[in-house]
Amino acid sequence: MNLSTETKLIAAGAAVVLIAGYYAQRKAVKAVATAAEAINPVNNNNIVYRGVNSVVESITGEKATLGTVVYDWLHPDEGNGA
């Protein structure tokens, strides 16, 4: 069987497209998994949790979470955990 040069180029191009598509699909799946984990409400390191705590830390000037600040505000007679 004698294939023309044009047929060989088309086959090679199709193979490159298939391999590139497979690679892109694998990368997309990983990116979606990473993004889903960033907004997962069960994950203690999700993007909202980090953002809120960053704001709390900049306001209070100490390493604190929103939960600990609210708890301290609601329980002033318990002191600062000392």
pTM of the model: 0.47
Q: Where are the domains of the chain?
A: 1-38, 43-82
- At 81 the pLDDT is 52
Q: What is the mean pLDDT of residues 54-71?
A: 89
Q: What is the mean pLDDT of residues 24-51?
A: 84
What is the 3-state secondary structure of the chain? Answer: CCCCHHHHHHHHHHHHHHHHHHHHHHHHHHHHHHHHHHCCCCCCCCHHHHHHHHHHHHHHCCCCCHHHHHHHHHCHHHCCCC
- At 48 the pLDDT is 84
Instruction: Residue count of the chain, please give it.
Output: 82
Q: Looking at per-residue confidence, does 40 or 15 come out higher?
A: 15
